[in-house]
Chain A
Amino acid sequence: MSKLLEVKNLTVNFNTAEGIVRAVRGVDFEVDKNQVLGIVGESGCGKSVTARAVLNVLASNSEIMNGEVIYHKNNEKIDLLKLDKDGKEIRKIRGKEISMIFQEPMTSFSPVHTVGNQIMEAILLHTGLDKKEARQRAISILEEVGIPEAQSRIDDYPYQLSGGMRQRAMIAMALSCEPSLLLADEPTTALDVTIQAQILDLMRDMKEEFGMSIIIITHDIGVIAEIADQVAVMYLGRVVEEASVDDIFYDPKHPYTRALLKSIPKITKKDQKEKLLSIEGTVPDAYNIPSGCTFHNRCEEYMAGRCDKIQPELIEISPSHKVACLLYEKEGD
């Protein structure tokens, strides 16, 4: 399989009145063409920041300290972080090559413009279509994502649609220019369980139909089981384990991944909406990152004198299974 996106050593800080927040601290992952990568982790571990950093649309108090985001466009490799973040080149990639959907479809749409207006905006921007054709295209994509009476719905305002319909419209907007990669930041978290399943089905269908890749971000490991091919587990701004979905569920290596899996009793049961809150201890805050392995204060296999001193690197322990844990690093390194 050929690579579509590589993120290497991504490091993002935020400057706040209380000090510097080290939200993302050297994240690595890859996505292949036509693959679904799931990024899972507790609230605040830096998933959203990672996703927004890919398109370089972070908040204005952010600073990308380090890292590369390499996008493979045909045979060309483009480091998205090297492009001017307000410039033309990156704007040609946003929405056209890589698009994004968000957790809250209500606030992610402008309340004072019609859904159609907002979908057509991307189409008019990235294709040569005129207004009439763009409208046709918007209608057909709305139909494709399962919005009934798309002909008239297109002129609705976001608040006139139900939550599920809004998220479908959001997906339609993201897919309107047939991107190669869809970044989905908790697309089902705000929806109720039956709608969640429908939206995940829709995303899977769309992936097949458009032959695109998806990065889906969630704190719900049930969602990962549903849709992901490859999984990256994040903890406090770092990826601690990356493996195929089967390896994650049947052969998890990192103590954190194991704890995550234990925290939900029935992972095979579909549509399970369980938050990962029942791991011992609390998440340290991003202002005071613990030394060594950041998970050491909650870890069941904590090795005193090592885990609190040495920061483990993400290493490959078997083909396409990487883990960052001293249990798997040779002693004396």
Chain B
Amino acid sequence: MVPTILVLSIVVFVIIQLPPGDWLTSYVAGMRAAGDEVSPERIDILRERYGFDQPMHVKYFKWITGIFRGDFGFSFSWNKPVGELIWSRMGLTLLVSISTLIFTWIVSFAIGLYSATHQYSIGDYLATFIGFIGLATPNFMLALILMYLSFEFFGYSISGLFSYEYANAPWSIAKLIDLLKHLWIPIIVSGTAGTAGLIRILRANLLDELGKPYVVTAKTKGVSNLKILFKYPVRIALIPFISTVGWTFASLISGSVITAIVLNLPTAGPMLLQALKTQDMYLAGSFIFFLSILTVIGTLVSDILLAIVDPRIRYK
């Protein structure tokens, strides 16, 4: 895992170095355009700190060791150290992503289970229908619809994660409640497609498993249907379910950029997009690096869960 992350960091660094020019030049140019003169000493300090006149590997080395010391570099477009910018964004991103993941799992598990055990019933058709609509509706569209409905019928705006008065306030119970009031929209918006997909997967897996001989064996032992369902097929049907955690997680984070922009969420996506557009390399690099680490962690977690659920993996 550590080697994976190191390799990732190199790849990330190379990518953010690719565009021509360096941000120091653009920084100085930007300041000048705004009528500010940057002192030559300050330029020298910055050049020395980030190794701008040195070869790539030195720059990389300065960057990565900085990260281990908690220094993520400097964001020229915000004129602040990156460290000050990303934590709240990353925290809120994690919050939204994890709640979405949990929502996705619970809803798709319940509906998938129902669909499979009531195959071809009205409920099953309904779930299938809604599922396909969920898959086919673009997230941003859903976001716009929900925003419109909420404003039209409940009279409050649901964009963002906080109301205006709480956005910059310190944490408190009231702020938390305010957050929860806003959170459900991005959860539904970015979770629907995933939920619909997982319902299909779970339903298909379960139907497959329910027809397997070991289910008949359990029946002939006198085990009740409900117990059979949860002890055997559900557990086996969960295997492909769990292996999706790794990438679902990553795609939740990266895939929610448009949603986040439409909903005006203070999460990582929009800031990352902005940073990429303005070549704010240290800001972009830190985000990409963190998101990669999260993906690696997601994959690791799903591997561990898989090994718990499926002994065949454990012994191989």
Residues in A with CB closer than 8 Å to B218 are: 110, 121
Query: Which segment, of B81-89, B258-266, B304-312, faces chain A?
Result: B304-312
Q: Is B8 an interface residue (CB 8 A)?
A: no
Task: Please tell me if the beta carbons of B217 and A111 are within 8 angstroms of each other in the complex.
Answer: no
Residues in B with CB closer than 8 Å to A91 are: 222-224
Task: Please tell me if the beta carbons of B212 and A107 are within 8 angstroms of each other in the complex.
Answer: yes
Q: Is A173 an interface residue (CB 8 A)?
A: yes
| Bound CA–CA A92/B221 (angstroms) | 9
Task: Please tell me if the beta carbons of A112 and B311 are within 8 angstroms of each other in the complex.
Answer: yes
| Bound CA–CA A52/B315 (angstroms) | 34
Please give the distance in Å from B269's CB to the nearest CB on chain A: 38
Task: Please tell me if the beta carbons of B312 and A111 are within 8 angstroms of each other in the complex.
Answer: yes
| Bound CA–CA A99/B217 (angstroms) | 9
* Contact-residue bracket for chain B: 20 to 34
Q: Is B220 an interface residue (CB 8 A)?
A: yes
Task: Please tell me if the beta carbons of B213 and A108 are within 8 angstroms of each other in the complex.
Answer: yes
Residues in B with CB closer than 8 Å to A187 are: none
| Bound CA–CA A160/B220 (angstroms) | 24
A122 touching B224 in the complex, CB below 8 Å, given contacts A107-B213, A109-B214, A110-B236: no
One digit per residue, 1 when the CB lies within 8 angstroms of any chain B CB and 0 when it does not, for chain A 59-102 equals 10000000000000000000000000010000111111001101
Task: Please tell me if the beta carbons of A111 and B236 are within 8 angstroms of each other in the complex.
Answer: yes
| Bound CA–CA A91/B222 (angstroms) | 4
Residues in A with CB closer than 8 Å to B311 are: 111-112, 114, 157
Task: Please tell me if the beta carbons of B220 and A159 are within 8 angstroms of each other in the complex.
Answer: no
Task: Please tell me if the beta carbons of B224 and A160 are within 8 angstroms of each other in the complex.
Answer: no
| Bound CA–CA A122/B312 (angstroms) | 23
Q: Is A229 an interface residue (CB 8 A)?
A: no
| Bound CA–CA A59/B207 (angstroms) | 12
Q: Is A57 an interface residue (CB 8 A)?
A: yes
Task: Please tell me if the beta carbons of A94 and B221 are within 8 angstroms of each other in the complex.
Answer: yes
Interface residue from B216, B221, B224, B236 paired with A173 (Cβ < 8 Å): B221
Task: Please tell me if the beta carbons of A94 and B212 are within 8 angstroms of each other in the complex.
Answer: no
Task: Please tell me if the beta carbons of B232 and A110 are within 8 angstroms of each other in the complex.
Answer: yes
Please give the distance in Å from A210's CB to the nearest CB on chain B: 17
Residues in B with CB closer than 8 Å to A52 are: 216
A94 touching B219 in the complex, CB below 8 Å, given contacts A108-B213, A109-B214: yes
| Bound CA–CA A160/B224 (angstroms) | 27
Q: Which of A91, A104, A160 has the largest count of B CB atoms less than 10 A from its CB?
A: A91
Q: Is B278 an interface residue (CB 8 A)?
A: no
Residues in B with CB closer than 8 Å to A102 are: 213, 216-217
Q: Is A221 an interface residue (CB 8 A)?
A: no
| Bound CA–CA A3/B312 (angstroms) | 45
One digit per residue, 1 when the CB lies within 8 angstroms of any chain B CB and 0 when it does not, for chain A 178-203 equals 00000100000000000000000000
| Bound CA–CA A110/B216 (angstroms) | 10
A157 touching B214 in the complex, CB below 8 Å, given contacts A91-B224, A94-B220, A95-B221: no
Across the interface, name the chain A residue whose C-beta is closest to B119. Answer: A60
One digit per residue, 1 when the CB lies within 8 angstroms of any chain B CB and 0 when it does not, for chain A 108-142 equals 11111110001001100110000000000000000
A112 touching B236 in the complex, CB below 8 Å, given contacts A102-B213, A107-B214, A157-B311: yes
Q: Is B32 an interface residue (CB 8 A)?
A: no
Residues in B with CB closer than 8 Å to A86 are: 224-225
| Bound CA–CA A159/B221 (angstroms) | 21
| Bound CA–CA A118/B231 (angstroms) | 11
| Bound CA–CA A57/B221 (angstroms) | 11
Task: Please tell me if the beta carbons of B225 and A55 are within 8 angstroms of each other in the complex.
Answer: no
Residues in B with CB closer than 8 Å to A118 are: 217
Q: Is B47 an interface residue (CB 8 A)?
A: no
A92 touching B214 in the complex, CB below 8 Å, given contacts A111-B312, A157-B312, A157-B315: no
Task: Please tell me if the beta carbons of B212 and A125 are within 8 angstroms of each other in the complex.
Answer: no
Q: Is B57 an interface residue (CB 8 A)?
A: no
Task: Please tell me if the beta carbons of A93 and B236 are within 8 angstroms of each other in the complex.
Answer: no
Residues in B with CB closer than 8 Å to A107 are: 212-214
Please give the distance in Å from A302's CB to the nearest CB on chain B: 39
Interface residue from A108, A114, A125, A159 paired with B217 (Cβ < 8 Å): A108
A95 touching B213 in the complex, CB below 8 Å, given contacts A112-B236, A112-B311: no
Please give the distance in Å from A83's CB to the nearest CB on chain B: 12
Across the interface, name the chain B residue whose C-beta is closest to A170. Answer: B217
Interface residue from A125, A160, A183 paired with B221 (Cβ < 8 Å): A125
Task: Please tell me if the beta carbons of A104 and B213 are within 8 angstroms of each other in the complex.
Answer: yes
| Bound CA–CA A157/B314 (angstroms) | 11
Residues in B with CB closer than 8 Å to A125 are: 221-223
Q: Is B235 an interface residue (CB 8 A)?
A: yes
| Bound CA–CA A293/B216 (angstroms) | 33
Please give the distance in Å from B243's CB to the nearest CB on chain A: 14
Q: Which of A52, A95, A96, A183 has the largest count of B CB atoms less than 10 A from its CB?
A: A95
Please give the distance in Å from B229's CB to the nearest CB on chain A: 12
Interface residue from B217, B224, B225, B312 paired with A109 (Cβ < 8 Å): B217
- On B, residues with C-beta under 8 Å from A are 211-214, 216-225, 231-232, 235-236, 309-312, 315
Show 25 residue pairs from A and B whose CB-CB distance is below 8 angstroms, ordered by the A residue.
Answer: A55-B219, A57-B216, A86-B225, A91-B223, A94-B219, A94-B220, A94-B221, A95-B220, A95-B223, A102-B213, A109-B214, A110-B214, A110-B217, A110-B232, A111-B311, A112-B235, A112-B236, A112-B310, A112-B311, A121-B218, A121-B223, A125-B223, A157-B311, A157-B315, A160-B315
Beyond the given A57-B220, A91-B223, A114-B311, please list 6 additional residue pairs across the A-B interface where CB-CB is below 8 A: A95-B222, A99-B221, A107-B212, A110-B231, A113-B232, A173-B221
User: Which 7 A-B residue pairings sit nearest by Cβ, starting from the closest?
Assistant: A95-B221, A95-B222, A94-B222, A91-B222, A100-B220, A122-B221, A107-B213
